Amino acid sequence: MNHFEWLVLTLLITVCPVLAMVISYLLVKHGLRPLMQRVFGKFPLMLAGRYLFSLQHRAAINFITLISVVGVTMVTYFLIIILSIFNGFQHFIENRYTAFDPDLKVVAARGKSFVASDSILKILQINPEVAHVSPAIEDRAMITYFDKQYMASIKGLRQDYLQVNALDTLLYEGKYEFQTENGMPAAVLGGTVAYYLNSRISDRMHPMKIWAAGDARDFMRNPEAAVRVRDLFANAYFRVQMEYDGKYVLVDYAFAEDLFDMKGKVSSYDIKLKQFDHYESAANQLQASLGSAYRVESWYDMHATLFNVMKNEKFVAYLILTLMLLIAAVNIIGGLSMVIVDKTRDIGVMGAMGASLQQIRRIFLAEGMLIGLVGGLAGIICAACFSYLHIRFGVLKLNGGDSFQDMQYFPMRVEILDYFLTLGTVVGVSMLAGIYPSRKAAKQEIVVSLRK
């Protein structure tokens, strides 16, 4: 990072929390007072506010309380930022996969292909959630080009497949066409496949050769006749993600049909939905209509393991930072316990004047909640400022490598639910931290307290 970026980060980590704590304290004191009075009562809340930061003979206690607030602020700050980064990565990867994969895919429950049927196509097309359907043929084959060879997945597509997925927008070189200028078969190669084959779009003299094996029984009877070899030229390269760039070669549907001897068969029906977010309900509807002979997969099902791992990582990060919040809660317990010792005589006076044990408990429960609210809101303000600056200008740089080569900064996606979840966790832990000191305060003997 350059000096300017270091300066921005320093300000966001040091100055921003201080200003945010002042703003959140004023917000809690003046904005949330009516709501908190309903929960704790006017009298306990008033004393809790006075005890939170007192300027009279409580320098040590104020310092401990300030440490508690700062700890809660920083944990909230970092928790929201980390959750937002996880959201950003998930959203980025979802966009990458859905840029190549269809919204839904119908495949055979058993085997690699099934007979193309107008009845199946009709079932898919009449569904109100479906926008477009296009068949696809996919199988593995060996590609050779001079002394280079590579095992790739050959996917045969029709021209109308661009209505399922705009694959032509993924190209970084060449044209999305399955024929050369002379009418010869051509392909769109993944960037990594092209790299290992050392293929050249400009070469129209030396075609690549694709070797596809037929049925195993034919191969045993006549190996030479079972292997089909076809010529193919490179027409374009695409880049999506390493998983696709090093796997796929896109060809014309009729070419793949001839190469793999799949006349009248398809590997899948790929589907574009009218509403992307309705993929789960649409998949269930189509599965019920097609029966058990077919399997309907959504874009999420195709990569369920990856997305489940990402969700689990986000949950683990939340748990780890919540444990850090529990450490801050120990400071809250210690600070409240010192307040009780300092205010023992006040507690005795309140008891002598008729204050109930419940009111005394609520004083310190309210103070614990105030610490959580002030720190939590301050952390939210800091996280919101950091998120805006990062999304707008880019603060945290990322060395993308092969998987994220076009990403310069950490992706970040703000979700309001994370803010509410974090604030609820912070306030809940802070109130739990106030339970023990509040019970300790309520057990103070009036006579003994007045003598101190």
In this prediction the pTM is: 0.76
Whole-angstrom distance, CA of residue 237 vs CA of residue 256: 18
Q: What is the pLDDT of residues 251-301, one digit of tens each?
A: 999 999 999 988 889 999 999 999 988 888 999 999 999 988 999 998 888
Whole-angstrom distance, CA of residue 288 vs CA of residue 285: 5
| Cβ pair 98, 240 in contact under 8 A | no
Q: Where are the domains of the chain?
A: 3-98+307-451, 102-300
Name residues of the chain where pLDDT drops below 70. Answer: 1-14, 53-60, 214-226, 342-343, 346-347, 349, 351-352, 354-355, 399-406, 441-452
Q: 272: alpha, beta or left, given left = phi > 0 and alpha = psi -120 to 50?
A: beta
pLDDT at residue 347, rounded to an integer: 67
Whole-angstrom distance, CA of residue 207 vs CA of residue 184: 10
Residue whose entry in the numeric block shows the structure tokens 């696809």: 136
Q: Name the residue type at position 122.
A: K
pLDDT at residue 218, rounded to an integer: 53
Q: What is the pLDDT of residues 226-236, one digit of tens each?
A: 688 999 999 99
Whole-angstrom distance, CA of residue 303 vs CA of residue 294: 19
Whole-angstrom distance, CA of residue 244 vs CA of residue 155: 12
Give the list of residues 6+ apart from residue 418 with CB closer than 8 angstroms, or none: 80, 83, 84, 87
How far CA 154 is from CA of 178, 190, 267, 366, in Å, comes to 13, 11, 11, 66
